[in-house]
Every structure is written in C-alpha cells, then in structure tokens.
Structure 1
C-alpha cells in the first residue's frame, strides 16, 4: 500500500510538470557534454567555452541600458560615442528598448553609431504577474511584434535585432523561449544568478536542463534548442547582498563619494577578471548615472580604465553570445575585424497627436517612416 501511494504521488508530480511544460515540449534532461557541443549547444556551466585558460580568455564587458530612448537620456548615450577598445574597435553597448515614449529617430541614431538595439517589450506593463503568467501568445504580441515594430519605425534591418530582456527581469517559464524560436531571436538577458558568480556562469543554451538558480520564477523547464541564455551575473553590495542591476544595490557607497564608487565598481569587475572571465555586466538605468556627478565620474573612470586594458573588450550582448559559440584566445580575438554594417537612413517625421485605442490618450512620435494612423500598441504594432 505504501509503495502504491508513493507511485501515485510521483505520477501526480510528473503530470503537474508535464502540464507546466506543455504538451508540445519535452522536460529538459541533464546535459550531456558529449552531444551538446558548440557552436549551437552548450551546457549551463562555469567552464570557459572552448576549454580556454583564463589568462588566454578575453574579458568581455557588457554595458546595457533599459527602457525608452528619448531626448533626455540620449544626451548621456552620446557621451559614449567615439570610445574604442585597445584593439582599435569601437566599444559595444546594448539598449533594451521598450516602445512607449521611445523616439525612433534616436534609436536609429544609436544603431548608426554602432550600438545594439534589443527588445524590452511593447507595453512594459504592470503588475509583474502579467509577465510571470505570460503565455506564448502574449510574448509573441509583446516581443515578436515589437521586433517588427522596431525595425519599421527606426528603419533598421530586422535581422540585426537579436536579443530581449523581459521587464522587471520577471521570467515567464518556457513561453518566452518558445516565442524566441518563432520570432528568430538569439538570446535572452533576463535571468539573474547569484549562485554562479565566482566563478561566473557563461552563456548557454536550453537544449538540456539548466543548472542556474531561479531567482525570479517561473524559469524554463523544457528542452528548447535554439535560444541562448545570457545570465545576469549579480553584483554584490557592500553588505554582500546580490543585485542584478547597479541601481538595485541596497547597501552602496555614498552617492557623493566618487572614490568609493570607483572601488565598488572595480571590486565587482575584478571578481570576473581575476576569475574565469565570464562576461561582466554593467546593467543600469541611465538616470542613475546621470543624476549623480560622483557616480558619473566614477563610471567614466571605469570606462577609461577598461578601454586601456589589452585583454578587456567592451562588446554588445550579441558579440558575447558569438564568442561563447566560437571562442578564441586573446591574440586571435584582437585580430578580428571590427564590426561594421550599412548606414540606415532616417527621413524622420514627427507624428501626432495619435490616439491610443487602449487608453484613448494621445501621443506624439518621431519615426523614420510614414506616420501611423493610430498609436501603435499590442495587437496593432504598426498603428495601421
């Protein structure tokens, strides 16, 4: 009787997991390194891709900004123009852009300056449970449609949009990764880890079960070949608490103490640089740097230092994934051609007032194409 009860309980658990995963997906199994090989499959691991030694591994640094692009924050973004790594190539920066209050003419400008444009949803709406419970169909409306929307209004090639970050870093289980396959997106940068920080967790795929800690559930449980996970390796504040974004750190230096802020940034960076050189993320919102002169100066000092180190490279998120897929030693990495792409023109138009059908509010937009008929939103991303 006891074993019958155990068997029945296990059956109920298995049924619940199967229901969570979905009828068309298989539960992910433990990773098999013999069959999961680069460039298209990688187990979740702190091992350096390609078996490289840390001293031979380029230290990649990812600077990312979230939310809308507008006339206020673009002033800070323009201060990054012209910066170069020690190999002579322009630095990489990734912008995770949401739709509302975004100036698409300025998105086009950032793209033409060589920076990466990625997705942060159309609505960026609350409550957070909206994202936790988001279905495949919801994620298609938020991100697959935003990919078309971004390419259209900013007049940038749709095939140059590779990545996404879910608002509030709220994972959506399997649905977001299913959507990525349908939408032709390469990587997700929404999943924090505080467990795999020293050594850090390198990017990996979801062909097999992830070993990453699930800080903001639900996390994926299915085998979903194709999309890459770019883990957000947390920083640690002055009291040792993890923080996924710089501005989310609770116990941090005094906002007027430039030297303390510089040491704080360097301490988190050196954990990567002196460790297994997993990509170091400086994930932040623009306002946090701009609003405080001491933090702004410490940030600039940090960038100056990075750009003068021969084995450190500021890259965009797509380039970090490309390195994980095709790892090479520092000397070979230095010889790689700098990224380049054709200029994307922007014969911009100012549009408005445009009525938003979901709220009846009015908006104004700057776009690189014809003006929409109504304010673009979920279900009508081009405003037809």
Structure 2
C-alpha cells in the first residue's frame, strides 16, 4: 500500500484517532529544541547538520539497504544471492536491515540472517492491513504489537533480545505517540517509518524526540510528546519526476526492464547525499519487487558493488548509523576502528504444526529455533503458551 495514499488521513479518520493518546497522558508536549541542552550522545535536534560538526569530506557515507515483511524460503534465496559475503572497503561485513513481522515468518531463516551479521528489526506481530488500526492505535495496542514482538522474535529465532533495536511500522502509518512511548519503555532505540519529502537536499540526519521535530508529517498522526532518547531515522525520499520513500513505489521511476536506467536512477539519488551533507542513503524495498524485476535487482547489485569499493561509503545495518550519530568520528577514524563484534546464535531447529489459532481459526506451521508453542502465537499471547 502506498505511503502517500494516507496524506489526507486526518480528514477521513479523524473520528478514529481519538484513542491514540489515551495512555500516558502525563507525557509532556515537545517544545522547540534547545540546542545547548540537547547534546550527543543522548539527544539531537532534528537537523540537516552533520553530527559532530564534521565536514562532508570527513564524514562516512552510510548506505542502508532494508527489506520489510516475513522471511521465507523464497526470499531467502534473493538475500543469499545479493547480500551474503559482501564486505565494505574497510574489510568489515556489509550490512542490511530486515524489518520482520510475525505471521508466516520462518524464524529459522531469521536466525540465519542474524548469523550473517545483518540486523533484525521489528515490523509488528499482526501487520494489520487496515490503516485506521495503526492510526488510532493506543499504547496498549502498540505494546502488544511491538513490545511483545521483541520478546517473541528473540524467543523463536533464538537471537539476543538486545539486538532487536529498530522498528518500521506497517504501511509507514504513524501511530502518534503510542509506538514511540512503547519503544522508550521497552528499550527499542529507533524508528525508521517516517518519510520526508522536504528535507532531502540536504538530507535529514537521525534525531531524537526529546524536543519537537522540524520534520513534516506526511502520514499522520505523528508524535507530539517529548520522548527523551528515542531516535527517528528519517526515510529521505527519492526523486525522479516525483518522490517516493519505498523504492518499489516510485511511480515515475525508469522502466523496470531497463537495468542501465535503474542503475543511473539509484546512483543519481545516492549522489544527492554523497555530494551533499552525506545524510544516510536508504534503499528501502520489498523483496517481491526485486523478484519480479530482475533488471532492477541487477542494478541494485551493481550499485552495491560500487559502494563496496568506495573508500568513503559503507553498507551498514541501520542501528550502526544511530550508533555513529551518537558518537560521530571522522571517516579516517571510522575506517581504522575495526569491525563490530558479533556472537553467533545457535538454532535448535523445529517444525511445529499444524497449530490452531485463536484469532482467525487458521491452522499454521512454524519453523523455529526453540520449543514448539501450544497454539499459534498472536496478540495477547506472543509465545503461544
């Protein structure tokens, strides 16, 4: 579903949004950012300024490749083909981030992706397709969707709970304060659901919600509360006769059968960042788009090959960008600092099912790295006990 389809949600859903701020009314309204008080590593005003006051030539150009939705035996083949065994020019593994939801997810393959040193992040349990569900979600709903999913993902994929540090909301539909308050309470670090069309050249760098943001609200309701230490990683839009946050929804993009045109399209948008303020460049996509369009996939591979051979650009996990922004270091220091430590996660593989489900009476099978649940896990019972 296209994110720009919800630009006028306040007009059509106003009556449904009354509940989104019912919980945690004690949270104060965010005020204009106090630059002197808001200092790294814990606070950053929304800004296109390079963190740490670095010059563009001294700033690493981060590239974040992200995929949404469940991991399954079909899309894992794409991920293995295009991502595995890649290294950046500093010798460290190239990163990618997977925003994974629960239904039909293969947790054994999530474990595999984690062990390839890719980032696993949260995309809710239900992935409800009704935009008004998310637009009107209360704190309690988002606690079940995100807070409990963190425990669920760690349990069934047998990966570290603390490694799950990011969120992308379904359809990029914002939930007002609700999801960010849950993130703060459950120790989730950042959200990457919020597109910007205004702050693109120069691009908007990640910032915290201690103070009011300057980022425009394209898919309301957006957060209004002061939620200290909770990070926003803006989805800086691409341009090609129009604009888009997710690559597969670029209406005015080149012909999907034209590899060369798509390669130029990607590079042109990358250069806006690289030749500008070096704000992180995101390639946000669904695997089905690459599977259906081999020329686009080939163009992406060429682009990643290009980045992997550049001395000042790096494919990284999204959380790596946040960690750099918290403690910015120069390009040379970044190249010399060494690779992030990584501990492998075991998988005691089990096939579970058929299992009854209480929410829709469908029988499910699960591929997991832990003990089989009693019933299919869902909202209110994330471990299926």
Which deviations, in whole Å up to 9, do the C-alpha atoms of 1:294-346 show, x marking residues without a partner?
11111111011000000000011100000110111100000122122221100
Q: TM-score, normalised by structure 1?
A: 0.94
* CA 1:22–1:154: 2 relative to 1, 3 Å: closer
Structure showing greater Rg: 1
Q: How many residues align?
A: 366
For the residue of structure 2 that corresponds to 1:305, the secondary structure is: helix
1:171 is the counterpart of 2:189? no
1:20 deviation in Å? Answer: 7.7
1:324, 1:342 → 2: CA distance?
Answer: 24
Tell me if structure 2 keeps the 8 A contact 1:354–1:374. Answer: yes
1:217 deviation in Å? Answer: 0.5
Matching of residues 100-249 of structure 1 within 5 Å: 100-237=103-240, 239=241, 241-249=242-250
Compute the RMSD of aligned alpha carbons: 1.3
Match of 1:43 in 2: 45
1:221 deviation in Å? Answer: 0.8
1:332 is the counterpart of 2:349? no
Q: TM-score, normalised by structure 2?
A: 0.93
1:204, 1:122 → 2: CA distance?
Answer: 26
For the residue of structure 1 that corresponds to 2:231, the secondary structure is: strand
1:306 is the counterpart of 2:307? yes
For the residue of structure 1 that corresponds to 2:366, the secondary structure is: strand
1:92 deviation in Å? Answer: 0.8
Give the stretch that moved more between structures: 151-160 or 21-30: 21-30
1:291 deviation in Å? Answer: 1.7
Which deviations, in whole Å up to 9, do the C-alpha atoms of 1:27-73 show, x marking residues without a partner?
11110110000000000000000000001000000000000000000
1:34, 1:188 → 2: CA distance?
Answer: 25
1:192, 1:254 → 2: CA distance?
Answer: 24
1:96, 1:294 → 2: CA distance?
Answer: 24
2:24, 2:354 → 1: CA distance?
Answer: 43
Which deviations, in whole Å up to 9, do the C-alpha atoms of 1:114-173 show, x marking residues without a partner?
000000000001211100001111000000100000000000010111011100000011
Match of 1:291 in 2: 292
2:382, 2:61 → 1: CA distance?
Answer: 38
Tell me if structure 2 keeps the 8 A contact 1:21–1:222. Answer: no
1:103, 1:112 → 2: CA distance?
Answer: 15
Match of 2:343 in 1: 342
1:118, 1:171 → 2: CA distance?
Answer: 17
Give the stretch that moved more between structures: 39-48 or 255-264: 255-264
User: Structure 2: where are the runs of 5+ without partners?
Assistant: 1-17
Tell me if structure 1 keeps the 8 A contact 2:255–2:261. Answer: yes
Tell me if structure 1 keeps the 8 A contact 2:22–2:138. Answer: no
1:362 is the counterpart of 2:367? no
Match of 2:12 in 1: none
1:21 deviation in Å? Answer: 9.3
1:70, 1:175 → 2: CA distance?
Answer: 30
For the residue of structure 2 that corresponds to 1:117, the secondary structure is: strand
Which deviations, in whole Å up to 9, do the C-alpha atoms of 1:330-371 show, x marking residues without a partner?
000001221222211001000000111111110100010110
Tell me if structure 1 keeps the 8 A contact 2:121–2:165. Answer: yes
For the residue of structure 2 that corresponds to 1:100, the secondary structure is: coil
For the residue of structure 1 that corresponds to 2:230, the secondary structure is: strand
1:158, 1:231 → 2: CA distance?
Answer: 24
Tell me if structure 2 keeps the 8 A contact 1:372–1:383. Answer: yes
Tell me if structure 1 keeps the 8 A contact 2:273–2:281. Answer: yes
2:115, 2:283 → 1: CA distance?
Answer: 22
Tell me if structure 2 keeps the 8 A contact 1:177–1:224. Answer: yes
1:295, 1:174 → 2: CA distance?
Answer: 36
* CA 1:20–1:379: 2 relative to 1, 3 Å: closer
Match of 1:276 in 2: 277
Tell me if structure 2 keeps the 8 A contact 1:115–1:316. Answer: yes
For the residue of structure 2 that corresponds to 1:148, the secondary structure is: helix
Match of 1:89 in 2: 92
2:234, 2:55 → 1: CA distance?
Answer: 21
